[in-house]
Amino acid sequence: MLIYVNGFIKCGAPLVPFFSHKRLSFFTKPTPSSYSLASIPRDRLYFNNNLRYSSKSIQVVESSVIDMGAKEEKADNVALSSYDDAMDALSTLISRRRGDPPTVGSRDKLEQVVSYLKILGLEDKIKELKVIHVAGTKGKGSTCVFCEAILRNCGFRTGLFTSPHLMDVRERFRIDGLDISEEKFLQYFWECWKLLKEKAIDGVIMPPLFQFLTVLAFKIFVSEKVDVAVIEVGLGGKLDSTNVIQKPVVCGIASLGMDHMDILGHTLADIAYHKAGIFKPQIPAFTVPQLSEAMEVLQETATNLKVPLEVIAPLDLKKLDGIALGLSGDHQLVNAGLAVSLSRCWLQRTGNWDKIFPNGSNETDMPVAFVRGLATARLHGRAQVVHDLVSDQQDSSGDLIFYLDGAHSPESMEACGRWFSSAVRGNKGLSTGLNGYIRHEEFGRDFNRVSKQILLFNCMEVRDPQVLLPKLVSTCASSGTHFSRALFVPTMSTYNKVISGASAIPIDTRRKDLTWQFRLQKLWERSIQGTDTALDHTLNPDGVTSLPPHDFLCGDAPHCGGPAGTHITSSAVMPSLPLTINWLRDCVRRNPSLKLEVLVTGSLHLVGDVLRLLKR
């Protein structure tokens, strides 16, 4: 089994995984007209300085009042403005937090985005962008990442806009596979900010956060002169801010399901209607197999707009010739198949296919550049495995591995459960992905340990945990994977502040409302035990929820999802996420024979917070 080291690889860096059976020729600095090939040695792993991080003490954040006037004065001189100044400015654009009544988009809002583009001088320039536009309920981000990696490995300068970010807002903007640099981000951010602020004096309303980030993405891609812009829809499609794109090269619809129903509607047909809103007259579109209710809407919309719509089957693994996808999980074959078709269509419609593949590669061939792109794609927080090195610093310590997936819908929760079960069983086909994976035995450690699967969970209150939790448990149990314990924890992220990856981490739990977490725990215990269980809401004298004893994870409570012999509480509500991570580390330090495999899921915010903590 291969395990991802607790470090965060810079996307686009020449880091190469193990290929146990195949060698793969990689292009170095490819151009559309010529390639330089480099042979990659077998069973070799490249590291860079970003792979390992020392343990740092956690800082307590003190509340402060933001003086935006002072921030903006400093921002007049971009060289003097700090990244946190930009984050403070962005935070003023947050107009709605999750759980507030939805504000459905409208044509008026799309017209607002167009007006912002005019102010920035981008209205005509974005028409020159050669765009791949992708919507969907699940898999649209992965599809976009695959597309970007494929075309970058074909030699093109790529721009990628995705959402949400997990640790730092710059993750949303990639140029040539790398998150935009802090320096360039500040340059383009303040250029846009100042122009829009000047117009605000004349009565123009500053855009909400996502609209601003969308026009900022267009500003970046135009200024950076990308050859291709891969754009992920934020929410829905028809009325999404990204739908100001009038003539994309090709459109894609990833898998559809029930999500954001408060905004998009309560039927699959309603949701499909919004997603199909990105179709443009006579512009080719591709989708994956859908339920009939959704497919009928997609086909009807395509017919009305004279859109050639093609349904793409999941990628055949044989075409990869033994090379693993960079994104783990069987469900990624669906996204990879869609990405291959979108990329091929983009190359053909832009007149680049014959230039890149002059030897006449046919429709059934998988060019080596496509394979390399599929193999090197990366996306934090989706089927990601991180081996915690902080708990690994002493030979006497146990083993702590985090499995992170931001699943938050019933369909994605099922996919998450299948992936986690395969990963903990050591399915080599799913664990030979990229991004710093290394072999267990290379740690020189004894792995004859007691393995326990732990769930670390939180979801937004607009989600339905009565659906999500049973779906996860039943999926894992059907594969023979049972959770020993479940931990319910609040996220660190706030919804009125945009933070950077370097922001201080709050640990004060005195005013943390854990009502939702206790509700999740009650639902969990009812699901596992089959009846309501008396739960111990333990508080210390200061009114803060106490941590469980360290032997809590080593007890003999019934396996969650397995046969329950006695009614022993198999879960706990944790007071804060930083304390939880430290508590898990202490547990393996105190128990050298213990191997904890922790699935972190239910919320991308939770996954992002855990990644931030593990990076420290």
Q: Is 232 annotated as a binding residue?
A: yes
Which structure tokens are listed for 68? 């935006």
Q: Is 405 annotated as a binding residue?
A: yes
Q: Distance (Å, rounded) from C-alpha 18 to C-alpha 12?
A: 17
> CB count, 10 Å around CB of 127?
11
Q: Is 163 annotated as a binding residue?
A: yes
Residue 365 CA to its chain's centroid (Å): 30
Q: What is the DSSP string of 508-566?
A: --TT---HHHHHHHHHHHHHHHSS-------B-TTS-BPPPPGGGGGS-PPPBTS---S
Q: Distance (Å, rounded) from C-alpha 230 to C-alpha 245?
A: 12
CA–CA distance from 135 to each of 151, 385, 429, 497 (Å)?
19, 26, 28, 27
- At residue 134, the 3 state secondary structure works out as strand
Residue 353 CA to its chain's centroid (Å): 30
439 phi/psi in degrees, rounded to 5: -75, 145
Q: For 336, which DSSP code?
A: H
- In the chain, the largest separation of any two C-alpha atoms, in whole Å, equals 75
Q: Distance (Å, rounded) from C-alpha 494 to C-alpha 190?
A: 24
Q: Is 321 annotated as a binding residue?
A: no
Q: Which of 299, 296, 292, 338 is nearest to 315 (CA)?
A: 338
Which structure tokens are listed for 369? 């550049």
Residues contacting 421, CB < 8 A, separation 6+ = 475, 476, 479, 480, 481
Which structure tokens are listed for 582? 């430290």
Burial 466-495 (b: 16+ CB within 10 A, else e): eebbbbbbebbbeeebbbbbbbbbbbbbee
- Whether the link from the prior residue into 164 is cis, omega within 30° of 0, is yes
- At residue 398, the 3 state secondary structure works out as coil
For tokens 């020449």, what's the residue? 14
Q: Is 111 annotated as a binding residue?
A: no
CA pseudo-torsion sign 293, 298, 302, 307: negative
Burial 605-615 (b: 16+ CB within 10 A, else e): bbbbbbbbbbb
Burial 14-41 (b: 16+ CB within 10 A, else e): ebbbbbeeeebebbeebeeeebeeeebe
- At residue 263, the 3 state secondary structure works out as helix
Q: Distance (Å, rounded) from C-alpha 465 to C-alpha 196?
A: 41
Q: What is the DSSP string of 211-236?
A: HHHHHHHHHHHHHTT-SEEEEE-SSS
Residue stretches of the annotated binding site for Mg(2+) = 163, 232, 260
Residue stretches of the annotated binding site for ATP = 382, 405
Residue stretches of the annotated binding site = 163, 232, 260, 382, 405
